[in-house]
Copies of this chain bind each other. A is one copy, B any other.
Amino acid sequence: MISKTCGYAIRGIVFLALEQNKHRKHGILEIAEDLQIPQHFLGKILQDLVRRGIINSIKGPHGGFFVNAKTIDTPLIEVVEAIDGLGIFKKCFLGREECSSTNPCPLHDEFDGCRSAIFKTFENLKIADLVTKIDNGDSYLSLNKEFATEI
């Protein structure tokens, strides 16, 4: 559905949002190790998010990435749009160039419900909601056993 890159972006933002109370910045190396995402690749993704104003960063010693007030209120769809674009919600299931209710493929109607359910979920969920889930111990950002069991 969404690209791996986009998943990395969301996890990166949520990681920063989780740590926002500590009022400190996080270096790319720390974030990447914690989330087990290739460092430089994640770096580029976060830089992209900074350019788009979704997160912030400061260079130099004691610099790093951090969230701003707006960040935690950002709907996921905004991140998806920034990284993958909204086109992903219009792709034909059977690989035709176009697919719409006026010229549907034989799977169009079958999956249209799912498609819009997913879209709406991304519209409704905010970064804050994912933070809550993780704070509650209902879900995890990384697979690290320590993370999963340190409750």
Q: Which A residues have a C-beta under 8 Å from some C-beta of B?
A: 1-2, 4, 7-8, 10-11, 14, 36-37, 92-98, 103-111, 113-114, 117-118, 121, 125, 129-130, 133-134, 138-143, 148
A92 and B142 CA atoms in complex are apart in Å by: 11
CB contacts (< 8 Å) of A133 on chain B: these are 106
Copies of this subunit? 2
Using A92-B7, A148-B103 as known contacts, say yes or no to A143 and B110 having CB atoms under 8 A apart: no
Question: Does B143 lie within 8 Å of A96, measured CB to CB?
Answer: yes
A141 to B95, CA, bound (A): 10
Question: Contacts of A121 on B, CB cut-off 8 Å?
Answer: 110-111
Of the candidates B2, B97, B98, B117, the one whose C-beta lies within 8 Å of that of A114 is: B117
CB A43 to nearest CB in B, in angstroms, measures 16
Q: Are B1 and A96 in contact (CB under 8 A)?
A: no
